[in-house]
A and B are shown apart, each in its own frame.
Chain A
């Protein structure tokens, strides 16, 4: 992009501004206990913003999709082998399989040096750490939203290695960030308001992957000076 073409309201932000925006964002999260935290990678100055959300789902749905007893036979054998060794103080108690019916969504906000914008990584798993496929994530998106999401940034979801953790995550590819950030930033500029980039951006991309960003962020979180 040529410098002359760039709008005064830049869709890019440098890493320092990213961190400042995150700090203000985290302060508000702390106030309303929204669950965001800064995760520092041990022994480096790198880090990311993280939130974990637990979602109860109907266990039957999950079982069908996920096969939570993938190795059921296998495990029965294993259990028979060692059962004698452990006192079962709850013999006769009914199965407690329903506990599986919780999904855990992890959201990570990272800074991308190459795109100079924040990037949203996420993954979903059952409580034992077994990750869900994108289809399973998709099937948990409310049908009312699906059609809208298919046109939205959902189609830029890819599977990527987390740059700091080296584990597979889903990522909303940054290639379309400018597309939806520019109108928001232009509008704010027209109204002479200073907005926190992270707040504006996350309010748009978060709901796409089930991440709720309370309205109070928009009113309470300021832009860095």
Chain B
């Protein structure tokens, strides 16, 4: 380090702006700026040579290959391995002096990229972080330095001078986290007193004539080709005014008749105008050891050979003269340095976290995200993907509809999916319910809600899925058999209320009509968007429930019925679908009806259920996929509308108009008729006597809570019909059917 003390005194830093990066050589206080002007103060002691150290540069492929080697080859073997790096002398200004390791680094005998010089390395890959920490770094460096020194002493380094560029790489690969810890060492033997500059570095174009430069280039190319290579790490040079000759390093004695003044060339990866790169250090040692006794002054050419836009130049090479100490009698391995600094400039290891590109789970997440972003890019800037991806979806029902809805949600990148179902997987399920397999049916079958979660996580580990194996209390299905059944029902209601409050969108995907009643009431009260899908044999309805205005009394609706059919089965009484009915156009979201608004009977009396939903549990197999997919796409379209669930309902008529969102229409309902391969988009108003979403029902629920709900569960359907005024309506309209009458709680 004394080799630089005097240098520091004699160099003056004039300007230090427009930094690209700073380079720390092996000496103290050698931080200099590449674009700054460095001037030698000539009056002081002769300056000493400073070197620009290597920076390690690793391709992503190197880490991938190390992982493969560790897993398939090395296992627990910690013995040193031969690897290979390379460096290049053709960089444009502004790039750091690099030693590069690619995925091919493990093929130590493999080819080196054209015009690059190979550097042999030793890899020490430890099995534990502890071993990485405790490995004796000084011993590793000393060992490598000793090898270099021995090769210099024996003369082996003359025949193959690449040993001078030997490096060490210490690694620990944490393959659970895909974190890699590493530390490079580029061993350099140190002259105790430094290397004294006799003539300061200057560019070749200032020292050589054009003739000399082209002669040098030609001689170098010719030596390369006769050596069967495209880059020479070291060579010799002698010149006259009009010609330059070069020769291999080992021919030194024959090439120079007079050894007092010789010129050596080093393939130099550095681009700094005043400093040679690291590879020169050990070469100087080789020369000092081998010829130091005869040598007076050594001329050094740092050969830099770049081609920019097809035009080759070596003119920016630098040339200078040094006085080397005589080491010819020295027998002890000199002191050495070379461990690389970490990015903070301290002596310490580096680390890289490659989980993003190596962890299969992270890869799956980023691929899914990317595919969605591509869709957004095509629709830039209007598609708000985050709105979709961050939506928390509650799926009530994990059967045919639930499975298909979940898969479509995953396709949209929705991460938060919760299932509620109380059924077990039966043998008939897997062929229609794409989240289940045969194995899931064995031993009585797994709980659907839980098995669905497992499968989602297998499909995409990044999903945040949850399953609740629970029942949803239903109107007309008494819970009052015992205290415990009542307590259970109370618990189920509380659980459902909690789940609905924790989610943004509730999907009604059950296979019975009455099970949709409770979530409809709760979600309406909590102002949560409901997307409802129901199947007939070859018909379906997918709809969004109207979203009540926040905390405002519901305005009275005079329109008793909607223009659309009342149920999904084509044989229901109100199947008076009139596509394109303009009477009900432009209904705002808060006035739209729910699934029960179209009904003139309350849900619940399963023995007398007048709808055919339950009888229609067998539907054409494609229907659930179509309806499930449409349910999700409807949700996404609603989310894209600036008013969300309050968006005015699009109707079939609007198909010709400018769509309200970047994804198109936002209908209230999609009713599909598979027999005709046709869909219509009816919209209907909320019904003031609706058994689920009318004001009186919501008021009773909000006032009495479970007390009210229990009455609904325990009573026949007439309870709700009386409450809402349906009974009266029936009487007035002389409904032909015979109803179970009850005076309780009539209004």
Contact = CB atoms under 8 A, between A and B. Distances in A.
Nearest to B31: A94
Nearest to A55: B95
A214 B308 CA distance: 11
B310 A96 contact: no
Nearest to B62: A129
B215 to A, nearest CB: 20
Given A96-B345, A131-B356, A56 B95 contact: yes
A168 B361 CA distance: 13
Given A88-B346, A155-B374, 18 more contacts: A33-B310, A56-B95, A71-B179, A75-B348, A78-B133, A78-B181, A86-B339, A92-B28, A93-B29, A93-B30, A97-B343, A97-B345, A100-B343, A101-B20, A102-B95, A154-B377, A156-B374, A157-B370
A134 interface: yes
A129 B64 CA distance: 10
A192 interface: no
B635 to A, nearest CB: 25
23 contacts: A30-B114, A32-B307, A56-B94, A69-B344, A71-B351, A75-B350, A75-B351, A82-B133, A83-B347, A90-B27, A90-B341, A93-B29, A96-B21, A96-B31, A96-B343, A99-B55, A99-B343, A130-B352, A130-B354, A157-B370, A158-B367, A159-B366, A216-B310
A70 B353 contact: yes
Interface string A53-84: 01010010000000011110011001101110
A93 B344 CA distance: 11
A72 to B, nearest CB: 8
Nearest to B102: A52
A71 B352 CA distance: 9
Secondary structure at the A interface, as helix, strand, loop or mixed, is mixed
A96 B309 contact: no
Interface string A18-59: 000000000000111110010000100000000010101001
B90 A96 contact: no
A129 B115 contact: no
Contacts of A93: 24, 28-31, 345
A150 interface: yes
Given A127-B58, A155-B374, A216-B310, A99 B21 contact: yes
A95 interface: yes
Contacts of A70: 353
Interface in A92-135: 92-102, 104, 106, 123, 125, 127-131, 133-134
Contact of A214 (B91, B306, B310): B310
A5 interface: no
A85 B137 contact: yes
A33 B90 contact: yes
- For the side of the interface on A, what is the size category? 35 or more
B61 interface: yes
A89 interface: yes
A33 B91 CA distance: 12
Contacts of A89: 1, 26-28, 337
B113 interface: yes
Contact of A98 (B22, B56, B95): B22
Interface string B13-47: 00000011111101111110000000000000000
Interface in B53-86: 55-64
B225 interface: no
Contacts of B741: none
Interface of A: 30-34, 37, 42, 52, 54, 56, 59, 68-71, 74-75, 78-79, 81-83, 85-102, 104, 106, 123, 125, 127-131, 133-134, 150, 154-159, 165-168, 214, 216
Nearest to A70: B353
B528 to A, nearest CB: 33
A100 B96 CA distance: 10
Contacts of A133: 356, 366
Contacts of A99: 21-23, 55, 96, 343
Contacts of A78: 129, 133, 181, 348-349, 351
A184 B55 CA distance: 44
B203 to A, nearest CB: 20
Nearest to B59: A129
Contacts of A42: 107, 110
B55 A127 contact: yes
Contacts of A79: 342, 346-349
A155 B20 contact: no
Interface in B376-407: 377-378, 380
Contacts of A83: 346-348
A106 B59 contact: yes
B312 interface: yes
B98 interface: yes
B728 interface: no
A43 to B, nearest CB: 11
Given A99-B21, A167-B61, A168-B357, A82 B348 contact: yes
B363 interface: yes
Contacts of B60: 106, 123, 125, 129-131, 167
A-B pairs with the 6 shortest C-beta distances? A79-B348, A98-B21, A95-B345, A33-B307, A32-B310, A129-B58
Interface in B172-217: 179, 181
B371 interface: yes
B138 interface: yes
Nearest to A30: B114
B103 interface: yes
Contact of A131 (B337, B354, B380): B354
Contacts of B55: 99, 127
Contacts of A88: 346-347
Given A97-B344, A127-B55, A87 B31 contact: no
Between B95, B181, B310, B349, the greatest number of chain A beta carbons within 10 A of the residue's beta carbon is seen for: B310
A165 B78 CA distance: 25
Contacts of B346: 79, 83, 88, 95
Nearest to B141: A86
Contacts of A54: 91, 95
A92 B354 contact: no
A68 B357 contact: no
